[in-house]
């Protein structure tokens, strides 16, 4: 079952054409990675899926809803079950880590039962989410007390707490050291296992793409030019993909062993 469908998407800013006839299908409960060089418009695709922007041309369908044809109010109502992990974490600086994780549940009913949760139920959701991302006991801390990697994990806990069925990740490992990036990749996989969500990960990090993705869509010149399973990605016969791979250094275990566990 297709959960996200992008058809003939064009998007420009002033005179700069960012997306050019982009097409992509994302299946239910899979993790699709959109991989490509930085600054090529990949994150714009996420904003279109999220309904934060509209395409100049083309159709964006999310979970059966044609969001590109809706008003902003209709989008807000229909796709509350879509969550996003922003590159900068986007935590509220004036709220504690726990309050950040609880924020959606204090503003909206539960996405599954459509009932408002009690304070104890919200606290239980938050505690469980913080434990899953390795931040148990940090609920009273402020975002300013956390490192960059911890802020990214706190933002992920916020998603886990309200359990969206579609999750969008914007460069989740950007700016992180290799060890912290590996931790974030592991948490993305764990979140997928926990929520059984449909996920789209935008990244320029091939290692991250191979660690978390079921399929990889290669973004080049404003379009998706190739889509393959992670095990078949190195077999793609395309000069643009090969040029990208030639400029990427990966551990031998990934290139030869395809060991992403």
pLDDT in tens, 100-121: 999 999 999 998 888 999 999 9
pLDDT in tens, 1-17: 899 999 999 999 988 99
Q: CB-based contacts of 218: which residues, under 8 Å, 6+ apart?
A: 35, 36, 224, 225, 226, 227, 236, 238, 240, 241, 244
Give the full edge-to-edge strand order of the sheet including 16-27. Answer: 16-27, 2-13, 57-62, 65-66
Q: Tens-of-pLDDT digits for all 261 residues of the chain?
A: 899 999 999 999 988 999 999 999 999 999 999 999 887 789 999 999 998 899 999 999 999 999 988 888 888 888 889 999 988 889 999 999 999 999 999 999 998 888 999 999 999 999 999 999 999 999 999 999 999 889 999 999 999 999 999 999 999 998 889 999 999 999 999 999 889 999 999 999 999 999 999 999 999 999 999 999 999 999 999 999 999 998 876 655 455 544 444
Q: Which helix (H) or strand (E) holds 216?
A: strand 215-220
- The CATH architecture that domain 31-39+81-255 belongs to is 3-Layer(aba) Sandwich (3.40)
4 touches 25 (CB < 8 A): yes
CA atoms of 85 and 89, how far apart (whole Å): 6
CA atoms of 152 and 173, how far apart (whole Å): 9
Where do the domains of the chain lie? 31-39+81-255
**What pTM was estimated for this model as a whole?**
0.90
């Amino acid at each position: 079952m297709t959960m996200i469908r992008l058809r003939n998407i064009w998007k420009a800013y002033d005179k700069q054409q960012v997306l050019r006839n982009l097409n992509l299908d994302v299946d239910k409960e899979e993790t699709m990675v959109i991989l490509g060089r930085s600054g090529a418009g990949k994150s714009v695709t996420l904003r279109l899926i999220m309904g934060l922007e509209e395409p100049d041309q083309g159709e964006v369908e999310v979970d059966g809803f044609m969001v590109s044809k809706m008003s902003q109010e209709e989008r807000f109502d229909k796709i509350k079950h879509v969550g996003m992990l922003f590159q900068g974490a986007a935590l509220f600086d004036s709220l504690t880590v726990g309050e950040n994780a609880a924020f959606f549940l204090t503003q909206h009913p539960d996405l599954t039962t459509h009932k408002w949760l009690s304070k104890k139920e919200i606290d239980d959701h938050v505690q469980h989410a913080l434990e899953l991302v390795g931040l148990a006991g940090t609920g009273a801390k402020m975002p300013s007390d956390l490192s960059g990697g911890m802020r990214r994990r706190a933002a992920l806990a916020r998603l886990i707490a309200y359990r969206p069925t579609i999750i969008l990740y914007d460069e989740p490992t950007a700016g992180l050291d290799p060890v912290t990036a590996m931790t974030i990749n592991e948490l993305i996989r764990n979140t997928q296992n926990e929520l059984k969500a449909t996920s789209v990960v935008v990244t320029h990090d091939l290692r991250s793409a191979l660690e978390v993705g079921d399929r990889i869509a290669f973004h080049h010149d404003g379009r998706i030019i190739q889509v393959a399973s992670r095990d078949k990605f190195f077999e793609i016969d395309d000069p643009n993909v090969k040029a990208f791979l030639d400029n990427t250094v990966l551990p031998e275990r990934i290139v030869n062993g395809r060991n992403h566990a």
